[in-house]
């Protein structure tokens, strides 16, 4: 006969532990669910982070522009040297040919004089250094041989210079690639942040920017500020004609610009060549440290490292290409995001 035992009941202590653990799990889940929405940054927080990334991207952009400009300069210099080497080699060949004809003529007559021996020598320079040989050569022969030696030295120097510049070009291209990757990384991070915003939040940010730009344009156009020189006025007029065109890093127009691309193209349109990068543009004229002394068309620089530049528009406003996602526009100097450092009158 089977025995019937009552199932063992869990102890009160065990029940209490299990109940407490279950309650804690429910509470944690509830807290996590409630906390999740608050972890999403606000529109203003996203804007602040995006603005910081755009500033860092612009810093990298100006370094990218500098490396690109250096690369183009080196390529031109190398091309010039290579052309000079090619021409020099032709001249050297002609000089050698003329001496070769002399050698052939003397060989046929059975008398190879010291000048031809010198030409055929394994080391003409050592041979030429011998005073006894010089005494036996005519002045015309000495001059011809010296021309050969001088041309050889020139070609050796130019080839060495070209070799060094090619090394510099290779390192510059490496730097250019790194800066391009850095810019693209910053812009990608900024875009990911912007993608966390709702359509309504994105529209609100765009509306804020448009209102600020319209206000700045109105303030600039109603300002009583003296224009700069004729060329400064022409540069400013060009910048006005580019309003609304998008910011693209590394661009110099005509369909898009970055900050220094706009200012360099504006002054080029006025007949003045200024450097490509914002930092280099600081040396394009006379520095002006007081905003009250600025004139329309003056270059204006911002941030301690001078990575941003625009054109003064009057009444504390500028025309500039701000950053990715924006267009060439008017903006108050107070909202650039970095301190005004000085202006430059080109």
* Positions marked catalytic: 259, 308, 320
Tokens standing for 167?
């090394």
Sign of dihedral through CA atoms 208, 214, 219, 220? Answer: positive
Beta bridge partners of 286: 345
- The enclosing H or E element of 61 equals helix 43-109
Q: Are 247 and 321 in contact (CB under 8 A)?
A: yes
Tokens standing for 16?
């209490």
- Helix, strand or coil for residue 222? coil
Contacts of 323 (CB under 8 A, 6+ apart): 51, 54, 55, 57, 58, 247
- Helix, strand or coil for residue 315? coil
DSSP structure string for 13-38: HHHHHHHHHHHHHHHHHHHHHHHHHH
Residue 254: is the preceding peptide bond cis (ω within 30°)?
Answer: yes
Distance CA 312, CA 297 (A): 5
- Helix, strand or coil for residue 8? coil
φ and ψ of 29, to 5 deg: -60, -40
């Amino acid at each position: 006969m089977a025995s019937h035992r009552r199932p063992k009941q869990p102890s009160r202590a065990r029940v209490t532990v299990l109940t407490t653990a279950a309650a804690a799990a429910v509470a944690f889940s509830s807290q996590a669910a409630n906390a999740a929405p608050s972890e999403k940054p606000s529109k203003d927080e996203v804007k602040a982070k995006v603005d910081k990334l755009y500033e860092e991207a612009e810093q990298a952009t100006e370094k990218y522009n500098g490396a690109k400009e250096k690369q183009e300069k080196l390529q031109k210099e190398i091309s010039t040297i290579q052309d000079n080497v090619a021409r020099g080699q032709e001249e050297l060949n002609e000089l050698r040919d003329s001496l070769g004809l002399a050698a052939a003529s003397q060989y046929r007559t059975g008398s190879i004089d010291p000048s031809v021996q010198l030409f055929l020598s394994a080391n003409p320079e050592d041979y030429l250094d011998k005073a006894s040989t010089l005494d036996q050569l005519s002045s015309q022969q000495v001059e011809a041989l010296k021309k050969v030696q001088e041309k050889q030295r020139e070609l050796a120097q130019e080839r060495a210079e070209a070799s060094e510049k090619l090394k510099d070009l290779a390192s510059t291209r490496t730097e250019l690639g790194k800066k391009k990757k850095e810019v693209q990384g910053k812009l990608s991070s900024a875009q990911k942040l912007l993608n966390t915003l709702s359509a309504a939040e994105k529209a609100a940010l765009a509306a804020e920017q448009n209102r600020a730009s319209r206000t700045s344009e109105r303030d600039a156009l109603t300002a009583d500020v003296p224009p700069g020189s004729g060329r400064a006025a022409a540069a400013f007029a060009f910048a006005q004609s580019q309003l609304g065109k998008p910011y693209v890093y590394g661009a110099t127009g005509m369909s898009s610009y970055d900050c220094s691309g706009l200012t360099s193209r504006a002054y080029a349109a006025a007949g003045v060549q200024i450097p490509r990068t914002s930092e280099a543009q600081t040396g394009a004229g006379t520095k002006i440290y007081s905003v009250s002394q600025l004139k329309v068309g003056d270059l204006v620089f911002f941030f301690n490292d001078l990575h941003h530049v625009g054109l003064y528009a009057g009444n504390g406003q500028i025309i500039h290409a701000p950053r990715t996602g924006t267009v060439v526009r008017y903006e108050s100097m107070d909202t650039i995001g970095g301190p005004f450092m000085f202006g430059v009158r080109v």
